[in-house]
Amino acid sequence: MLRYLLPLALVAGTASAQQQPMAGEGLRVARQWCATCHVVSRDMPPPAADAAPSFPSVAARASTTESSLRVFLQTPHANMPNWQLSRTDLDAVVAYILSLGR
């Protein structure tokens, strides 16, 4: 049984290690594009208009998944600018938001 679990643990560890640099890039992208309206990190003061949810609060929602974030970020919303994030930036922002929930 142990011999089957070890490869799974190694794959999970590798995926987690790969997500860390991606999450760091996601924070950079979020500060550039999202911080005007959202609190994107726990150490950031709130923007002047704080009607937009903070990224830590989004990450804490039970409904927040990789899929739900991707759909949300690629769908135009009335109160949100229609940013066209590149695939790389989208991947990074999703990884960053998910990292806040851990």
CATH classification at residue 54: 1.10.760.10
Q: Which residue has the tokens 């640099």?
A: 21
Q: What's the domain count of the chain?
A: 1
How large is the greatest C-alpha to C-alpha distance in the chain, in angstroms?
A: 55
One digit per residue, the tens of pLDDT, for the chain of length 102 reads 444 434 444 344 434 444 578 999 999 999 999 988 899 998 888 777 667 899 999 999 999 999 999 999 998 888 888 778 999 999 999 999 999 997
Structural contact between residues 73 and 90, judged by C-beta atoms closer than 8 angstroms: yes
Q: Residue 19 belongs to what domain range?
A: 2-100
- pTM, full prediction: 0.76
